Structure 1
Amino acid sequence: MAPQPSIRFVDAALSRTSPCVLSYRNTDQKWLIRQHLLSLLQEFPTLSPSTDTFVHDDGTTVYLLNVSGSLLVTHATPTVPLTIWLHQDYPNAPPIVFLSPTPTNPILPHHPFVDPSGVTTSPYLQTWHYTHSNLSDLTHNLVCLFAHQHPFISPSRSFIRRFTNPSLVSKVEAIDRLFGALHCDMVDLNSKAVQEIQELSKVQAQLVDRAHVAKTILVGLEHERTSLKQRVTELTEESDVLLNWLKVNGSNYVVGTSGDEIEAFEASDEDSRIMLDCVAEDLAIEDCIYELDRTVAEGVVTFDQYMKQIRSLAREQFFHRATQMKLRPQTSV
């Protein structure tokens, strides 16, 4: 039999009319709730009944019965503090189970039956049916689940192996073990998927960088292609101009046909030859003066040596330019 204080509390709560009336309206429903609660409290005397306001996820506020306390799972593990709320549509709707984690005793991550906030979901609750489901069987099922995998202590290898133990004592336990094994597999697959996604994200970033580099290279090549096409057009136009000029003036010039590149620049008469020599000497002197300027700037020769050479070269250049001015009217160079 359940403790007498608990029986009196349940009877008083269910018969209350005001001010804090419970959200259970049907008399038969209240009688069934009383039976299930007293049966639970008889089997688990560490739990005690209470009433309080409950707020659903959609914001609906109801006043419900609940039982709370510490659930002994095994003698080798800590007790599990929990609260079981009886839904306003109980037993047609399953009860709502919450564990009570603390900052120093949080829920284990990736637990197959309990989320980090303490909300508990099990195959028994998911397959709840009022004709064969009750609070006592639910609590026994929770003890079995938490014995397999405690919500506050990392499971040992023996506990993990128990999920895949082929020796099953009941259909419910088989479903629970299958659910736990599937959850463990799902956590492993999710961890691998997250790792693969991170690696693929890195590869994607590298591909984006390479695509940017390739695009930059393509833009540069396109600009170079455009410049080359423009240059080809300019050279073609200059070639046409040169061909047209040769058609008009080509007969006035002697073109070497022996295949010797030097003979192609030989003058057609003595005056032209002298003119070419003078121009060549003039340009050579210009190059020499330029090199002297560079050497004196670098300190290779002294300033006196530089002036002596410049005077000599300037005198020679003067005579060459005077010869060019004299012969220019008489030659075609």
Structure 2
Amino acid sequence: MSSSQQPSDLSQQQQNRYPTPSNFGLSTQQLTPQQAQLYTKLQTALLEFNTASSREMDNLVNVNKQLNDAENRTKAELLSLRDLSTKIQHNIVTLNRCTEQLNVKIEQIRTWPEEPVDEIICGSSVVHNQLFELVAEEIAIEDTIYYLDQALSQDKVELNAYMKHVRNLSREQFMKKSLIKKVKTQLGHVE
């Protein structure tokens, strides 16, 4: 059925396809009462059949339209999935390539000789090494005092114990700072 042909047009064509008494050269007056009654029943049955057929055709046209729409949506979704699959494959290839590069770098790093950190981070002379250690100890004392302050404010340490430890640490810190100043003076650093 063409899309321009409407169901009502189809119904009209179906009604015209069936024979009428005039098609046989008879008029309704020439029919016997039984023939006229039979003719009326046939005409009613034919009309009901045509109406039911027309309704069924309308339903089939709607179902066909729904199926066509579903097919178009399915095709669009399939194209989208193919595109997504292509992108995922590209990402997998890229990820594999990066993983291989990382594995090569990891193997290179594993073959490096292991050097002690203390030997790498050191001064150029004994005096520089002494200065380095003094500064590290002074910073450690400062951090310890900070954490004692935190413990006191959270009531995790008593005031007497706090005062005792801070007094000792402050004395030690003062001595470290004094030594740092002496070493810097020996090295010619001006503050």
Query: Scaled by the length of structure 2, what TM-score is found?
Result: 0.44
Select the structure with the greater relative contact order (CA < 8 A; seq sep ≥ 6): 2
Bigger strand fraction: 1
Query: Scaled by the length of structure 1, what TM-score is found?
Result: 0.27
Bigger helix fraction: 2
